[in-house]
Structure 1
Amino acid sequence: MLAAVESLVAELRTVGLPISVSEQIDALRALEHVDLGRPIEVQVALRATLVKVAAHEHAFDTVFGLFFRPTADPDRGSGPVLTGLSDDELRELLVDALRAGDVALQRALAAVFVDRHADVQPGRPVAGTYYLYRTMRAVDADRLVTELLTGEPGDGPAGLDARLRTERAEGTVQQFRIEVESEIRRRLVADRGAAAVAKTLRTPLPEDVAFLTASAKEIETLRETVDPLARVLAARLAQRRRHRRSTRPDVRRTVRAALSTGGVPAAVVHRPPRPPKPRLVVLADISGSVSTFATFTLYLVSALRGAFASVRTFVFVDGVDEVTDLLATEPDLAAATRRINSEGLGVWLDGHSDYGHALESFWDSWGTQITGRTTVLVLGDARSNYHAPRAEVLRRIRARAAQLYWLNPEPTAAWDSGDSVIGGYAPHCDAVVECRTVRQLKAFVDGLGDGSR
């Protein structure tokens, strides 16, 4: 058990979960209070001591299943009763098992379907994704959902009732898919060992997923990550401002406090901190190549309005438009994005990125409103489709502003390659920051709001 916990912690650290030595000791002590013969109790105890963020639970559950689940038994679920049935008969039996919630029968059927259709090849260094695809194709998940809904009674409003029953059926089939996936992983672990399989299953944590390469499912997970992140950052920045110590002593209050110590100023009283809040102006490239990154950054900055004296937001492709009021009035991120796209905001001519024209348009219309208390934040990859970069416009903006930062969602190695002109803009920025993930975005906004940048 000790070796399994050590292997689990080592793999979780490799994935990116922050686990200290003391937390590992706490996990071992927690196991003294559970039944080690029941994997679910072990899982709950270890998750409670090792996982601190809800978004990391999926990564923990995946790794736990490799090191603590029993390995595959070649005879389990392959008796003559099940193996002698056709796929259609197995599917009918599966529908009955799903309706009855018979987990044991579902696992046995998952083993039979994997035997017949996964075609697991021993020794291959794979994660089992293709094996899962082959098995679920034979199961026909869509057909299962339809059969689960057939003949099921419904109450209440027809539209709502149908939607609830459909979601319930889809969730039931999804649970069977998880059983199939677990069966495949058990067989892979039995063949190659848990450590080897863990290497092929490693995926980045939600906060480490690159904006530019995120899949639709990962983008949905990112949305769930950014919502609590905005609240945590806002609370943290407000607390730092309240507790930041001023360097200026308050003579009057110090002398008054010294009366209790015979006139000796034993403790110096400082003036309450009144750090000026920065005024933030955001220029965001919303062209297709970086739209995901810009959307999440705009949402996060908008959610942190309280940390700044004012936040004004502009979007651009080859033109520029202000969307400050739009972001303030729309109920959520998705609605704001749809409205920006439907109204064609940020587009001037052909909808292809032209940083030079966009910057010049911003300077002509709003340049005089940039002051010595303004922090300008530019979001984009600086790929201008070989148009003139007009870096002198950015220089004029920087001359009027207090600070100017550029967040680039591309890896540093890709800068100044192809049509990237970031090298021409960099001399006029206080910093050009690689910002490919939520983790990097959080670190930058955290420093920006508390004035450390």
Structure 2
Amino acid sequence: MCEPGVQGMYPLPLEASMVNLTLRFVNCCRAADLRVSTAEVLDVVRQLAIVDPFDEFQFYTVLRTNFAKSHRDQDRFDRLYNLFFHEMQNDLTGAEVTPESQGFDEVVARLAEEMEADGDAMRQAILDFMAGKPLDYLDLINKLHTQEEQASTGLKSNMTQLSSRLEVMLKINQMKEKVLQFLGGNHAVVDDSVRASIEEEFTRRLESAYDILTKEPKTKNSGLKTVAHNEEHYDEIGQVPFSSLSDDEIEEVRDVIRQLVKKLEEIATLRYSVAKKGEIDVKKTLRRAGKYLGIPIEIIRKDKPLRKGKIVVLCDVSGSVWSTARFMLNILYALQECFSKVKSFIFVSELAEVTDHFIEKEVNDAIEAIMKDAPINYYAQTDYGMAFQTFKNDHLQDLDKKTTLIIIGDARSNYQNPQDHILRQLRDKCRRIIWLNPEQEKQWTEGDSEMYTYKAHCHEVRACGNLNQLVDFIQELVL
């Protein structure tokens, strides 16, 4: 972008140039999965008409204010803005014609002629990216990052996405070789005096394309709630990890849970019975008090009762995770009167709904039954990405803005594709996502754990591997 007050030569009137540039940038944002509505584009055009679009700070501020609608969008917007307006050198003033720019354009034109009959959309997208038009390449990379793995009953791998990345990487290397061929030897199409600077510019743009391919954008999640400490509700049994409980300790934990459920039901029942009578409507009460010299003699109450939330639970039932999940399900279904609806799914790699088990059987019997009767392979390798993909394809309608999605699992996916973009889509559909991990936080960066990948899309994450941690969470959820 140019300095404030700089005047240039415009092939189109200023207003048309500004609109065209903005629309090109909007298309790149949408290709990179940054959602921009038509109304927001119209707002930007109107606002740019009353500021100086040649002052980059004003121009950038108008675009960022309208297009980056949350903290989660701001980093992505900044990357796209820097790519489009700085690395690709798109601006409103027009570029100065130099021997270097002429040579650069000549090489791009020769490459385009050679590839004209090729019909390779991927190579064409890379060439367009080098020419300063990143739209098709950004769309290609976004589709690659969100590519779903194919379900397989045999040996599982995450090669679907990896092979696609490798193909793009090879195309970039081939393009680099072609560029060097046109710049050097007997086939050189530019003068020796500008060859070095042109080669440097091509290298910079190809490295930028490579970085976009290999460095997946990390979502900023400044609103994430983490719980590092918990109250010691129970001295001894409360600190024992669920995975280490003996048979006698399991019965003791169940007794504690029954007492806790009874207590929470009484508190919740009282709260909702008071709510049905109506909370005090402060505004109407103060307005009515005007008839009595400001004294609130008549108390006006609201008719609307407190709203009960919906719960959807995804439980990893592999290994030590199940020792936590069974107690969590026990409490949730014992307290289901506190929620408008509770739906449960279990998975290892395949996913199955088990809500009916809790409707037809007593809670503890249902928990035992789902470990035997659910239509999943309990001995498969854990694959969170495939489980999320199945849930999105078959059960996305179960989520709405009244739903809390609770995921119980250690996020260990055996180095399979985590498909965290699906979790981002689930976040957009529901009220909040809470992840309960039976492992302690210091283990979340070890081995095949994808916890730090997934937590970027959660509203709350917490360790939940013993009774004290579970009681803390349930009290916050219900009360």
**Larger RCO: 1 or 2 (CA < 8 Å, sep 6+):** 2
TM-score by length of structure 1 reads: 0.50
